[in-house]
């Protein structure tokens, strides 16, 4: 089973997972690049997974379905390009021999979901859309800080070796903010150096892992003393409550340069 992040637009990735014959595509915001890549590699598109309704994740679905007959699976409670199989928390879907658990992760959008395969050739696999980014998290367009923190906490509890397949190359920007929050975090400094080298060679920084994110991502570290101190220094009204810390970090990040 091979995993490939196909670049799209300015900073999106459309994830493609395939077994050499059949392919799974996640959050295809456009279709032409996907169809060209599948043709180049002699693959048949079997299934499309969708995490949320934003156009840069769904814009290619209709054309791909029409061109390939692929089965489409997406969130139960969001506007979606019909027809599709709608799924929600606690359900499972079987694709290319893998069993994906559906995890509800509201915050970025109200009905956002993630797909998690505990057994994907020995290493767990997470397609998390725009909920968890490497070094960051999605903006709160439709949800609350409490919802997003709860969603991230759920993802952070997955096994440390879980591959985190998010859908934007935001890593270096996120890490700049993370270092402003935790300038003395050695694991973060090492990860920054690694990611800078990857981008200098035009390689993706993704997938990350849950273990890495728990050690460097401030939005998963709201109970850490250094993170709390930085949040309170930026916004004195911040309490030690994790939701309060998270809300301050998210608002700060929205305007961070």
Q: Which residues are catalytic?
A: 52, 54, 56-57, 108, 130, 168
Cα radius of gyration (the chain): 18
Burial class (CB in 10 A: 0-12, 13-18, 19+), 111: buried
**What's the CA angle centered on 223, arms 221 and 225, to 5 degrees?**
100
Please state, in angstroms and rounded to a whole number, the distance separating the CA atoms of residues 149 and 221. Answer: 10
Q: Find, among 106, 103, 133, the residue nearest to 204 by Cα.
A: 133
- Which spans in 98-185 are helix H? 145-156, 171-181
Residue 32, token pair as written in the block: 């032409």
Q: Is the peptide bond before 139 cis (omega within 30 degrees of 0)?
A: no
Please state, in angstroms and rounded to a whole number, the distance separating the CA atoms of residues 254 and 62. Answer: 32
| Beta-carbon-side half-sphere exposure of residue 146 (alpha carbons within 13 Å) | 1
Query: What separation in angstroms does the CA of 30 have from each of 24, 58, 63, 200?
Result: 15, 7, 8, 26
């Amino acid at each position: 089973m091979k995993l490939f992040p196909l670049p799209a637009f300015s900073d999106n990735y459309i994830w493609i997972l395939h077994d050499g014959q059949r392919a799974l595509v996640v959050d295809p915001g456009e279709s032409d690049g996907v169809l060209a890549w599948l043709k180049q590699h002699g693959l048949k598109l079997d299934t499309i997974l969708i995490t949320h309704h934003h156009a840069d994740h769904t814009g290619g679905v209709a054309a791909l379905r029409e061109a390939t007959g692929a089965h489409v699976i997406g969130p139960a409670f969001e506007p979606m390009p019909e027809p599709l199989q709608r799924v929600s928390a606690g359900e499972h879907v079987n694709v290319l021999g893998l069993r994906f658990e559906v995890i509800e992760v509201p915050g970025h959008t109200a009905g956002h979901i993630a797909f998690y395969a505990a057994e994907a050739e020995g290493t767990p696999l997470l397609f998390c859309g725009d909920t968890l980014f490497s070094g960051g998290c999605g903006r709160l367009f439709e949800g609350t800080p409490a919802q997003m923190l709860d969603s991230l906490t759920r993802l952070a509890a997955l096994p440390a070796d879980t591959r985190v397949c998010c859908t934007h190359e935001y890593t270096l920007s996120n890490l700049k903010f993370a270092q402003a929050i935790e300038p003395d975090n050695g694991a973060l400094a090492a990860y920054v150096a690694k990611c800078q080298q990857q981008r200098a060679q035009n390689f993706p920084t993704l997938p990350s892992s849950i273990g890495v994110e728990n050690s460097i991502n401030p939005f998963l570290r709201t109970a850490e003393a250094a993170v709390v101190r930085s949040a309170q220094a930026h916004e004195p009204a911040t309490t030690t409550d994790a939701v309060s810390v998270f809300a301050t970090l998210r608002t700060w990040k929205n305007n961070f340069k």
